[in-house]
Amino acid sequence: MSVHLGTSRWLPGPVAAGARLRLLCLPHAGAGASAYRRWGAGLPAWIGAVPVQPPGRETRLGERPYRDCRALVRDLAGEVAPTLSRPYAVFGHSLGALLAYELVRELIGRGCPPPARLFVSGRKAPQLAETLPRLAGASLDELAGLLSLLGGTPPELLGDRKVLALMAPVLRADFAVNESHHYAPHAPLEVPITAFAATADARASVADVAAWGARTGAEFRLHTLHGGHFAVLEQATRVHALIAEELAPWS
């Protein structure tokens, strides 16, 4: 039996009825809810993965993707807030990590209950300056080069200009979301944060990810995975065990 989260296009569900805690999962640039459907199925039954579906991809392909971080977080928070009737945590990878952090800030600012824990991976802490070139207007060759560097995209897709051209609009929009984010000093969250860093991540070094510790006044844990940018998705069994361990009080 499943419980649907309603008619929200952002949170298409379903989530297992027996789940005592929901884990909102925010995808990396260019990705959608499908990035977490199979991955989330491996979590213990008491944790229900809730993949987020931003516009411009998959079931929302015909919608205009966001290009502004603040607008995206504001609208997503409006969809998430009514669903917080039970304990929840938030997970984000790469761009999703930044959005997860800002979503938690927005929800708390609206008076919503805080999450049990925030999980981030594959992105440097938001107070660190961005060093990647600006990619919101990247050419197909530049996009292919970045995707090749990060891994996770089959080479045959990167070599297919038609496929790459179909992927380009949402990738450019997501990079614009990232580039529109401007960090201003603010108080750390009183929410525990767990960060996953990969030893060969071209997007964020272990030190970059460890800097997330400054963004919480509560507990901080750092887990290091061997591998590249998508290690947190590729090593699901280990990551699920760590998530379950840190959310055990809600099991």
Query: Which of the following is catalytic: 2, 8, 34, 94?
Result: 94
Closest CA to 141 of 118, 119, 165, 124: 165
How many Å separate Cα 217 from the centre of its chain?
A: 21
Asked if 121 is an active-site residue, the reply is: no
Helices 161-180, 69-80: axis angle to 10 degrees equals 90
CB 140 within 8 A of CB 164: yes
* Count of other CB atoms within 10 angstroms of residue 40: 21
Cα distance between residue 190 and residue 220, in whole Å: 11
CB 204 within 8 A of CB 124: yes
The catalytic residues are 94
